Structure 1
Amino acid sequence: MEKEEIVEKEIVLIHNRFNKEIEKSIKFSLEKIIIDFLPIIDNIERALNLIETINLKKEKYTEILKKLQFICNLLEKFFYLFNIKKINDTNVLFNPSIHQAMSIHYTNDIISNQIVTVMQSGYILHKSRLLRPAMVVVSKEKI
């Protein structure tokens, strides 16, 4: 090969690498703001869960409940638009790369190492970057 061909190939490789870096930067540019946004979502979900469990005078909370559900729907659309996946599945195998075990639930009703409860949802950006692991309760067989 001539020097010109080698230089040209190097330029193409550098160009491709540079384009991949730019693409990656654009793809994950919102990561910081999304991470800061997650506690807001957590508190809206906690408020929804609290209102749904109140049995007395529930009619007073109906309007608040509807507005919170509307906000949650908007957030779900936002997450879909920006390729953010929520990690909140139960009865799935514990995966330490996306789950953080907070407690163990000893039982013989469920096989070991299954997610029993999600205490706090986790989130993944573009199916590859973990924004926050899901805090979970994991099953373990009684001995």
Structure 2
Amino acid sequence: MPQKKKQEQDKAAAVNQVPQEEEASVAEKSEPSAEEVLAESQAEAQKNWDLYLRERAELENYRKRMQREKEDLARFANENLLRDMLPILDNLERAVDHAEQDQEGGLLEGVQMTLDQFRKTLERLGVVPVAAIGETFSPDCHEAMGQLESAEHAPNTVVQEMQKGYTLNDRLLRPALVMIAKAPADSSKD
């Protein structure tokens, strides 16, 4: 009988031992090792560092963009004022043209001096005339008012300027109003 008792105790111990082994394996799975914790922490730290660097770069790009916009605002702040002054320039140029025909020395000289001073002031502020006559027509800086038949000029060449165009710091302020050349119609057709 004592052997039977011993076998029963061994069975009970074996049954108790299986759950203890399972509990130990479950405990091992639920508690990560120090190396795993360190690896996870390092990965999270690297992720946060990368995020920090991206945010810092984005902030620097924002600062640069704001600086460029501020500079552009300063460069083009007078755009509307200067656009309104261009008709005055046009009228001064017309006055000089008419005064040259009248041969009135004093009037012509005074208007010419005023016109020269006005042009220099505009140029100092960044207003520059658009090249037109003899240039190839460009819709970026010219506005075609019509076409003239011309055997002397290549097609799409500006042959007449109706009104000058101007740029402000390389930005178009007003297009030049122009007439462009076109090939003459063939008059030999019957």
Fold shared per TM-score above 0.5: yes
1:85 to 108, 115, 128: 128
Cross-structure match for 2:69: 21
Cross-structure match for 2:168: 125
| Bigger helix fraction | 2
| Bigger strand fraction | 1
2:158 counterpart letter in structure 1: I
Could you say which structure has the greater relative contact order, defined with CA pairs below 8 angstroms and 6 or more residues apart?
1
What is the CA RMSD across the aligned residues, in angstroms? Answer: 1.3
Q: Deviations over 1:9-63 (max 9, x none)?
A: 1211111111011011001001000000011001110111112123xxx2xx211
Cross-structure match for 2:179: 137
Further displaced range: 34-43 or 71-80: 71-80
Please list every run of at least 4 consecutive aligned residues from structure 1 whose deviation after the TM superposition is greater than 4 angstroms: none
Q: What does 1:59-98 correspond to in 2, within 5 Å?
A: 61-98=104-141
The sequence identity of aligned pairs, in percent, is 28
1:29 counterpart letter in structure 2: A
Cross-structure match for 1:36: 84
Q: Secondary structure at the match of 1:103?
A: strand
Matched length? 137
Structure ID, larger Rg: 2
2:175 counterpart letter in structure 1: P
Q: Secondary structure at the match of 1:49?
A: helix
